[in-house]
Chains A and B, each alone.
Chain A
Amino acid sequence: MENTAKILAIKEGDQKVIHELYNAFQPKFVNWLKGRYKIKQIETCHEIYQRSFTVLYFNIKKDKLNDLQASIETYLFGIGKMVLKEWWREEKKQMDELDENMAPIEEVDIFGNLFDSTDDKNLLTNQIAAAMEKLDEPCKSVIRLFYWERNSMEAIASKLNYKNEQVAKKKKYLCIKKLKELLKQ
């Protein structure tokens, strides 16, 4: 599969392709962490890989990789270096040599604060995750389709069989209200 086809498949949320790519890059990525950066704990290697792959996924989803010239793998390893820097910052360790041979990915926003944010924000995120679990359909779908998959109101109306986009808009408003109510419980 060509780079462009893979990017398109990921953007469309093709779980099979995402899963395949996740598995395909993992051994080499983990070996690279162990060999080049002497990270011995396999759990740490897997965590850094997961974070890097997550950043890759969301950058693709948010249309930041449309014109990617390098391979997805090269880009992933570039992300890996930056995620690793964040990791080491968390661990308060020095990794000066990480600046060597940095991949040319300066055109891409790396989601700098994807994994580290304030405790308040983490708390809210956890509360919303719990509230979303409790939400019934169609609210769960409405929120997913709009905030996660960036569907238009027209598309949501079509997918959920609403009469028109005005109905979908109203439904979304009510679903957000419902979510807020669940947060208060």
Chain B
Amino acid sequence: MADNENEMEIFDAYLFDDASDKSAFDKRLQEDPEFNTRFEAYKTLTQAIEKVEILDFKANLNNWDKEKVTKPTKIFTLKWVGIAASLILLFGLGYIFLNQKSPEDLLAANFTPYDNIITVRGEKVSIDDAMTAYQNKNYTAAIQMFESLPNDIMTTFYLGESYMAAKEYEKATTAFLQINDEESLFYPIAEYHLALAYLGLNDIENSTLTLKKIKPTSEYYASAQDLLENL
């Protein structure tokens, strides 16, 4: 530990100030074992203090996660009143605030076309083209291309998303209902968007049923609970 506040200042300059001249300090560390010991003790202490900050931050993240599961209503408010503006900026979409509660408005407020998370590879030319059209929000072209591709879970999901964005909700439900594999990457979001597609059809009964099926382990559970409260 530092002997006094001036020595601590020297230690701090060495540890935290990139601009400080370190050569004289290094020389003293080599030549003065007691100084070296005090410095090492202080360095260990500061590293541990910094690590406490990491624990503190992570505890904060834990609390945010807990809020989502145990207090869906509160999250609903935080999410939509507090961050709606940022969401619009983040995703570039016209969100509608949830104080308007018609099925159409709820759908508009909750549906965002899922991002392109496909690792595009050169050899899959058709998928590349379809995903590019999708990413560019050219949903009519994307639908045509996805429909011409082999029917796998990925193309089915993005076809469903394209139908949603094009407001062809009947076709969107058909696509999402084909995604049955609960282990699939797309299952949780497809399940949630199926409920939204029913909303688009003004089919509150099926939308409610679908939302109620969403398990607490799904990332969309909190959103589903929020939506159920407004149906």
Q: Closest approach, in angstroms, between the C-beta of A101 and any C-beta of chain B?
A: 6
Q: Closest approach, in angstroms, between the C-beta of B78 and any C-beta of chain A?
A: 8
* A148-B53 in contact (CB<8A): yes
* A173-B8 in contact (CB<8A): yes
* B5-A169 in contact (CB<8A): yes
Q: Given A23-B64, A169-B9, A173-B5 in contact, is the A129-B52 Cβ separation under 8 Å?
A: yes
Chain B interface residue count, CB cutoff 8 Å, equals 48
Q: Residue on A with the closest CB to B88?
A: A1
Chain A residues near B50 (CB-CB < 8 A): 147-148
* A54-B53 in contact (CB<8A): no
- Which residue of B2, B47, B52 has the most chain A CB atoms within 10 A of its CB atom? B52
Q: Closest approach, in angstroms, between the C-beta of A93 and any C-beta of chain B?
A: 18
Q: Residue on B with the closest CB to A32?
A: B117
Chain B residues near A125 (CB-CB < 8 A): 48, 51-52, 55
Q: Given A20-B86, A128-B45, A180-B1 in contact, is the A27-B61 Cβ separation under 8 Å?
A: no
Partner of A170, one of B5, B82, B87, B183: B5
Q: Which stretch of A34-42, A81-89, A156-164 is in the interface?
A: A34-42
* A36-B185 in contact (CB<8A): yes
B186 interface residue per 8 A CB criterion:
yes
Chain B residues near A148 (CB-CB < 8 A): 49-50, 53
Chain B residues near A146 (CB-CB < 8 A): 12
Looking at chain B's contact residues, the main secondary structure is: helix
Q: Residue on B with the closest CB to A36?
A: B185
Chain B residues near A30 (CB-CB < 8 A): 219
* B71-94 interface code vs A (CB 8 A; 1 in, 0 out): 000000011001100110110000
* B49-A32 in contact (CB<8A): no
- Which residue of B61, B83, B87, B115 has the most chain A CB atoms within 10 A of its CB atom? B61
* A15-55 interface code vs B (CB 8 A; 1 in, 0 out): 01101101110111011101110101010001000110110
Q: Given A169-B5, A173-B8 in contact, is the A27-B219 Cβ separation under 8 Å?
A: yes
Q: Residue on B with the closest CB to A51?
A: B58
Jot down 12 A-B pairs with beta carbons below 8 A, ordered by A: A1-B89, A16-B82, A35-B184, A50-B62, A53-B61, A54-B57, A121-B47, A125-B48, A125-B55, A148-B50, A150-B16, A172-B8
Residues of B participating in the A interface, judged by any CB pair closer than 8 Å? 1-2, 4-5, 8-9, 12, 16, 44-58, 61-62, 64-65, 68, 78-79, 82-83, 86-87, 89-90, 115, 117, 119, 183-186, 188-189, 217, 219-220
Give 14 new A-B contacts, CB below 8 A, not counting A20-B87, A132-B52, A148-B53: A1-B86, A20-B86, A23-B64, A27-B188, A34-B183, A40-B183, A101-B119, A117-B51, A125-B48, A128-B45, A128-B48, A169-B8, A173-B8, A176-B8
What are the 5 tightest A-B residue pairs by CB atom distance, in nearest-first order?
A: A35-B185, A173-B5, A27-B219, A125-B51, A20-B83
Residues of A participating in the B interface, judged by any CB pair closer than 8 Å? 1, 16-17, 19-20, 22-24, 26-28, 30-32, 34-36, 38, 40, 42, 46, 50-51, 53-54, 57-58, 101, 114, 117, 121, 124-125, 127-129, 132, 143, 146-148, 150, 169-170, 172-173, 176-177, 179-180
